[in-house]
């Protein structure tokens, strides 16, 4: 007896090379069968005819320490509107406040929340208008040992270390070096924010190692990765060659259509699409993961690539092979999407608009083998 069967959807599962019509069955929180027409009884079924079924979407860069930090947004709300089943918090909390994030938010919400631990002890504490104080501007707050100690207390939740580097957020490049030290000791990836210089893109990308993640990779100038002739800078190419992961992290100020178009024209597809959703980006320009995915759709990226960038890509980046795909035995998370037709306007972080004719919309989410937001349409069959 299955718990749920999704019937007749267009399954797009890039990690397993699946792209066709079929059913998916869930049991005990996991994917139990996938293929053409699945026989056998099920407690519930949902018809997905005419819709796309993807592995549960993973937003690799979100800020969901809701009410505990000034930039946090509600994880369940964000997940529902974006179709995400896993949200990875990108360093809202540092070692000093992670226990509260766990107890008051992560353990109480219905969304799967994982986290990068900020190398700065208080996490992102001074973010907003009119106050903007970078958590890595004072090196007394930046401590590898405390980061390692607390990360080891929460190995089920912490998937990496986060650092923000830029002229108004960090004391130069030094916090990145300390964060790298912590990440290597933990054998976890480091996610680095790149902001306004200094430090330069060359200095930042040059320090990143295999498996580390550079977020805000499509940022507008300054520190955009494009040369004047439109080519991608050598530091990006060298970093990719040694296995650095390139993440979108749209946010309020970190995504430019001009940069993204040039990167795509040069064949440099980001490895992961993420929203950097927070209090100052959730009402635009980022909105959420799904809107960010729709921007890439209207820049000409194929649907299977976009699905990979928001499922298998982020799962690999955080070392979670049980997420981001729909093979038997994987965690039973899936997202059912529609592609709406019409005239839609998208805006980047510096006010450029792109008009497109398609956008993604969420039809349903399956979290741990159960329909999360939608009504079950039929009883057991």
| Per-residue binder mask for Zn ion (CB under 5 A), 314-333, x = binder | --------------------
| 73-132 binders of Zn ion (CB under 5 A) | 90
Considering beta carbons, is residue 71 or 141 the nearer one to Zn ion? 71
Report the nearest approach of Zn ion to the CB of residue 117 (Å): 14
Considering beta carbons, is residue 12 or 90 the nearer one to Zn ion? 90
Considering beta carbons, is residue 85 or 281 the nearer one to Zn ion? 281
Considering beta carbons, is residue 59 or 276 the nearer one to Zn ion? 276
Report the nearest approach of Zn ion to the CB of residue 250 (Å): 9
Report the nearest approach of Zn ion to the CB of residue 4 (Å): 34
Report the nearest approach of Zn ion to the CB of residue 192 (Å): 11
User: Would you count residue 276 as binding Zn ion (CB under 5 A)?
Assistant: yes
Considering beta carbons, is residue 29 or 122 the nearer one to Zn ion? 122
Three-state SS sequence of the chain: CECEEEEEEEEEEHHHCEEEEEEEEEECCEEEEEECCCCCCECCEEECCCCEEEECEEEEEECCCECCECCCCCHHHHHHHHCEEEEEEEEEEECCCHHHHHHHHHCCCCCEEEEEEECECCCCCECCCCCCECCECCHHHECHHHHHHHHHHCCCCEEEEEEEECCCCECCCHHHHHHHHHHHHHCCCEEEEECCCCCCHHHHHHHCCCCCEEECCCCCCCCCCECCCCCECHHHHHHHHCCCEEECCCCCCCCCHHHHHHHHHCCCCCCECCCCECCCCCCCCCCCHHHHHHHHHHCCCCHHHHHHHCCHHHHHHCCCCCCCCCCCCCECCEEEEEEEEEEEEEECCCCCEEEEEEEEEEEEEEECCEECCCCCCECCC
Report the nearest approach of Zn ion to the CB of residue 225 (Å): 18
With contacts defined by CB under 5 A, how many residues of the chain interact with Zn ion?
A: 2
User: Would you count residue 4 as binding Zn ion (CB under 5 A)?
Assistant: no
Considering beta carbons, is residue 52 or 183 the nearer one to Zn ion? 183
User: Would you count residue 348 as binding Zn ion (CB under 5 A)?
Assistant: no
Report the nearest approach of Zn ion to the CB of residue 193 (Å): 6
Please give the residue ranges that form the binding site for Zn ion (CB under 5 A).
Answer: 90, 276
């Amino acid at each position: 007896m299955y718990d749920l069967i999704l019937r007749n959807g267009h399954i797009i599962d890039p990690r397993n090379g699946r792209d066709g019509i079929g059913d998916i069955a869930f049991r005990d929180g996991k994917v139990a069968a996938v293929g053409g027409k699945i026989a056998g009884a099920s407690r519930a079924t949902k018809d997905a005819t005419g819709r796309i079924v993807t592995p549960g979407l993973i937003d690799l860069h979100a800020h969901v320490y809701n009410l505990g930090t000034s930039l946090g947004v509600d994880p369940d709300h964000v997940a529902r509107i974006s179709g995400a089943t896993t949200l990875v918090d990108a360093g809202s909390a540092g070692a000093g406040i992670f226990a509260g994030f766990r107890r008051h938010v992560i353990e109480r919400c219905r969304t799967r929340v994982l986290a990068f631990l900020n190398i700065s002890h208080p996490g992102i504490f001074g973010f907003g208008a009119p106050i903007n104080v970078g958590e890595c501007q004072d090196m007394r707050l930046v401590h590898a040992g405390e980061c390692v100690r607390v990360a080891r207390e929460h190995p089920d939740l912490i998937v990496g270390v986060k650092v923000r580097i830029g002229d108004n957020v960090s004391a130069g490049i030094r916090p990145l070096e300390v964060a790298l030290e912590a990440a290597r000791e933990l054998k976890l990836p480091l996610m680095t924010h790149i902001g306004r210089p200094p430090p330069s893109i060359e200095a930042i990308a040059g320090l990143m190692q295999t498996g580390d993640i550079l977020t805000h990779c499509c940022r507008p100038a300054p520190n955009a990765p494009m040369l004047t002739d439109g080519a991608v800078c050598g530091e990006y190419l060298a970093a990719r060659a040694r296995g650095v992961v390139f993440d979108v992290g749209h946010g309020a100020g970190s995504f430019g259509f001009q940069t993204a178009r040039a990167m795509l024209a040069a064949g440099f597809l980001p490895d992961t699409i993420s929203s950097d959703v927070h209090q100052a980006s959730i009402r635009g320009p980022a909105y959420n993961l799904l809107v960010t995915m729709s921007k890439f759709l209207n820049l000409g990226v194929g649907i299977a690539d976009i699905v990979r960038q928001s499922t298998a890509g982020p799962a690999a980046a955080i070392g979670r092979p049980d997420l981001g795909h729909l093979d038997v035995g994987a965690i039973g998370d899936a997202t059912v999407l529609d592609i709406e037709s019409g005239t839609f306007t998208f805006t980047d972080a510096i006010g450029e608009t792109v008009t497109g004719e398609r956008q993604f919309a969420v039809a349903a989410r399956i979290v741990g083998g159960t329909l999360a937001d939608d009504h079950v349409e039929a009883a057991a069959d």
